[in-house]
Amino acid sequence: MHIQIDEISKAFGSTAALNPVSLNIPGGALVALLGPSGSGKTTLLRILGGLEFPTSGRVLFDGQDATGMTVQQRRAGFVFQSYALFRHMTVFDNIAYGLRARPRALRPTKAEVARRVTKLLDLIQLPQIADRYPSQLSGGQRQRVALARALAIEPRMLLLDEPFGALDAQTKRAMQDHLLEVWRRTRATVVMVTHDVEEAIYLSSRVYVLSSHPGRVAAEVPVPFPDDRTPRIKRTPEFGELVEQVEAILIDNR
């Protein structure tokens, strides 16, 4: 789904969180949002998902005005850094949650829910853990389950807010490749917030750098690597140059 953010601004009382921000995110793209703390990244994701409403401006999905759409109508999958799983629910029930929460007429049958959860557990390569509780999983496994839960509703867009921020470097790298694999298979439009410049460049086809007070788009950097990239690109000179370029933009916009 093609996402257009058209001159969105957001104020919380006297705090201007977003100055008019405009972004044009092609359908099926994976884009990254970078920027200092307080530059409005989370606010922008929440506005896209319908958890927050803009003070002015419009959001368009596939050309249609979505500014007044409810959370359910938008069908966004969310993964947050600290928005952990429901602790009292098994992995199966966590993933099934969004499907079971649908109004009765739209709710899949019990068998259909089970079929979809099984498929998602395969997709995140954790087929054996349906009956476990979150406390019985590693951090990386939990984030994969969170990703599966976000995918269960067949989202039109996936909104990721520092989803791998709490993971160790090795698990994080594995998760990045998981995400790329899931994205290639589902072709959901993905908007990912991260503080990690290398992660932003490795995963996305476009990096938006926001600046703070109030948040606005300071730069838009296209990433010229193919969709079927592998970790090897991180060792190329082009990758290194792009990292330096984006880091310089971040320093200029602190």
Distances from the Cα of 48 to the Cα of 7, 42, 176, 236, angstroms: 13, 10, 23, 34
- For the CB of residue 40, give the shortest distance to ligand ATP in the complex, in Å: 4
- For the CB of residue 95, give the shortest distance to ligand ATP in the complex, in Å: 26
Pairing of strands 206-211, 64-65: unpaired
Based on CB atoms, which residue is closest to Mg ion, 9 or 42?
Answer: 42
Element (H, E) at 243: helix 237-252
d(CA 15, CA 9): 11
Distances from the Cα of 225 to the Cα of 48, 74, 81, 205, angstroms: 26, 30, 26, 7
Q: Answer with the entry of Mg ion, ligand ATP, none that 236 interacts with (C-beta below 5 to 8 A by kind).
A: none
Based on CB atoms, which residue is closest to ligand ATP, 91 or 246?
Answer: 246
The backbone region for 75, taken as left when phi is positive above 0, alpha when psi lies in -120 to 50, beta otherwise, is left
Based on CB atoms, which residue is closest to ligand ATP, 180 or 218?
Answer: 218
Residues 34-53, interacting with Mg ion (CB under 5 A):
42
- For the CB of residue 88, give the shortest distance to Mg ion in the complex, in Å: 27
Residues 26-55, interacting with ligand ATP (CB under 6 A):
35, 37-43
Q: Could you tell me the two tokens for 173?
A: 């790298």
d(CA 26, CA 154): 18
Q: Any contact of residue 94 with ligand ATP (CB under 6 A)?
A: no
Cβ proximity of 200 and 243 under 8 Å: no
Q: Residue 33: which of 23, 21, 43, 41 has the closest Cα?
A: 41
The single residue among 1, 3, 5, 17 that binds ligand ATP, judged by CB under 6 A, is 17
| Number of residues that make up the chain | 254
- For the CB of residue 104, give the shortest distance to ligand ATP in the complex, in Å: 33
d(CA 151, CA 137): 19
Based on CB atoms, which residue is closest to Mg ion, 17 or 113?
Answer: 17
Based on CB atoms, which residue is closest to Mg ion, 25 or 160?
Answer: 160
- For the CB of residue 152, give the shortest distance to ligand ATP in the complex, in Å: 25
- For the CB of residue 191, give the shortest distance to ligand ATP in the complex, in Å: 13
Q: Answer with the entry of Mg ion, ligand ATP, none that 136 interacts with (C-beta below 5 to 8 A by kind).
A: none
Sheet bearing 64-65, strands edge to edge: 15-25, 3-12, 56-61, 64-65
Q: Any contact of residue 12 with ligand ATP (CB under 6 A)?
A: yes
Task: Summarize as ranges the residues that interact with Mg ion (CB under 5 A).
Answer: 42
Task: Summarize as ranges the residues that interact with ligand ATP (CB under 6 A).
Answer: 12, 15, 17, 35, 37-43
